[in-house]
């Protein structure tokens, strides 16, 4: 047989095997002692490939909560789809919506919380799931994200938070996290009351609008804000080795301790700042602002302060001993600019300090030390 005929025969065999493999619609069973044919083996592989492709395929369902408020809940409770699931929702759905399935997109609709064990719950995400909420409105209740889940918000509207302790101005969280990740990609931060704990991670993308009500980062959790000007209406708190990285940040009040770390380009507030127990507070001043730190008053106990620029204390506070700046028990740091007390440079009579190591610039722009 010449080379041309051999090549033609090989091509025909290949086409035949491929055709058989594609045509396979069930697995061929092999028995001991019986030779397996190549086309049967290839057919089995093709059959398995088709099943894998089917598993990977996205299922898309329309959910109408207008006529059946429980439909979103019941659909997810019974979901057995192996591949990604997209739910296009209309109307107001009753919670709590429990999501344990991986790769779920909920697009549109509203969710109203239901009381469970005394807590108003709208959504509960758990079990290493990958979830995206798009154009979803939470009318009431909280969203809980736990057990190494990953959730993305795209234009999600949150309900007005309720007071947990009205005397201290603390709000109950409407988004709570444990050992999970949250990425807010787009939309408004209005009404966000966040509690992030147990090694959780939160990212706020640039371009977000609105002002969160409260942010609490605790227990080895971290938040990275790309928002150009993040204005937190209420309390910002960092405890338990929590960390916060942002650009220009402001808050009604700020508390941090337990070896937590804060880094921003600027921080401004008409409220009080409390730095305690190994906290590290750093203002990097990436924009070259003369006074990148401006607050009502501050206390610093066993904490570190670094400010690339000046500091302005605009008033006094009872938590600072009715002074502008109270520093004790190993407060240390460096301020590379001037310190202004209620408009006056170097008026340290408005401060109460002892046992500190703090450098700053005086009215003559020369470095001085307080110890």
Q: What are the DSSP calls for 306-366, one per residue?
A: EESS-EEE-S-BGGGTTBSEEEESS-EEEEEEEEEETTEET-GGGEEE-S-EEEEE-TTS-
Is pLDDT of 35 > 60? Answer: yes
pLDDT digits (tens, 9 = 90+) for 88-124: 999 999 999 999 999 999 999 999 999 998 889 999 9
User: What pLDDT was estimated at residue 53?
Assistant: 58
- Establish if 210 belongs to a structural domain: no
- Mean pLDDT (whole number) for 218-228: 98
28 and 108 both lie in a single domain: no
pLDDT digits (tens, 9 = 90+) for 242-269: 999 999 999 999 999 999 999 999 999 9
Q: Are 353 and 330 in contact (CB under 8 A)?
A: no
Chain centre to alpha carbon of residue 128: 15
In the three-class reduction of DSSP (H, G, I as helix; E, B as strand; rest coil), residue 33 is classed as: coil
Beta bridge partners of 275: 256, 300
In the three-class reduction of DSSP (H, G, I as helix; E, B as strand; rest coil), residue 267 is classed as: strand
Q: If you compute the radius of gyration of the chain from its CA atoms, what whole number of angstroms results?
A: 30
15 and 71 both lie in a single domain: no
111 and 36 both lie in a single domain: no
User: CA-CA distance, 185 to 201, in Å (whole number)?
Assistant: 14
Sign of CA dihedral 193, 195, 200, 201: positive
Domain count, the chain: 3
76 and 32 both lie in a single domain: no
Residue 23 lies in domain? 3-51
356 and 238 both lie in a single domain: yes
In the three-class reduction of DSSP (H, G, I as helix; E, B as strand; rest coil), residue 48 is classed as: helix
User: Is the peptide bond preceding residue 26 cis, with omega within 30 degrees of 0?
Assistant: no
- Mean pLDDT (whole number) for 20-47: 72
9 and 68 both lie in a single domain: no
Supply the mean pLDDT for the chain.
90
Work out the pLDDT band at 45, boundaries 50, 70, 90.
Answer: low
Which of 128, 161, 189 delimits the end of a domain?
A: 189
Work out the pLDDT band at 12, boundaries 50, 70, 90.
Answer: very low
284 and 299 both lie in a single domain: yes
């Amino acid at each position: 047989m010449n080379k041309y005929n051999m090549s033609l025969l090989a091509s025909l065999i290949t086409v035949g095997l491929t055709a058989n493999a594609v045509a396979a619609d069930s697995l061929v069973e092999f028995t001991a002692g019986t030779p397996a044919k190549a086309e049967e083996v290839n057919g089995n592989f093709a059959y398995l490939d088709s099943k894998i492709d089917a598993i990977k395929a996205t299922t898309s369902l329309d959910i109408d909560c207008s006529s059946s408020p429980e439909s979103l809940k019941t659909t997810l409770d019974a979901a057995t789809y192996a591949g990604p699931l997209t739910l296009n929702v209309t109307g107001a759905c009753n919670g709590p919506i429990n999501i344990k399935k991986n790769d779920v997109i909920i697009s549109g609709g509203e969710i109203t919380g239901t009381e469970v064990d005394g807590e108003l719950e709208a959504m509960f995400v758990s079990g290493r799931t990958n979830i995206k909420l798009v154009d979803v409105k939470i009318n009431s209740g909280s969203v809980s994200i736990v057990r190494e889940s990953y959730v993305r918000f795209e234009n999600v509207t949150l309900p007005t938070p309720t007071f947990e302790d009205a005397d201290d101005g603390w709000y109950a969280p409407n988004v709570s996290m444990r050992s999970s990740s949250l990425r807010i990609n787009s939309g408004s931060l209005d009404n966000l009351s966040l509690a992030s704990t147990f090694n959780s991670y939160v990212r706020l993308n640039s371009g977000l609008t609105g002002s969160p009500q409260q942010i609490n980062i605790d227990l080895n959790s971290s938040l990275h804000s790309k928002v150009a000007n993040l204005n937190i209406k209420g309390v910002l708190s960092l405890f338990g080795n929590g960390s916060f990285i942002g650009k220009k940040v402001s808050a009604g009040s700020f508390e941090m301790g337990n070896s937590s770390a804060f880094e921003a380009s600027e921080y401004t507030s008409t409220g009080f700042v409390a730095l305690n127990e190994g906290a590290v507070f750093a203002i990097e001043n990436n924009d070259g602002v003369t006074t990148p730190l401006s607050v009502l008053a501050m206390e610093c106990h066993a904490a570190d302060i670094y400010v690339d620029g000046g500091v302005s204390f605009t008033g006094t506070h009872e938590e600072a001993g009715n002074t502008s700046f109270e520093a004790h028990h190993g407060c240390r740091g460096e301020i590379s600019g001037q310190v202004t007390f209620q408009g006056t440079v170097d008026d340290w009579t408005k401060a109460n300090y002892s046992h500190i190591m703090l450098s700053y610039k005086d009215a003559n722009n020369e470095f001085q030390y307080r110890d």
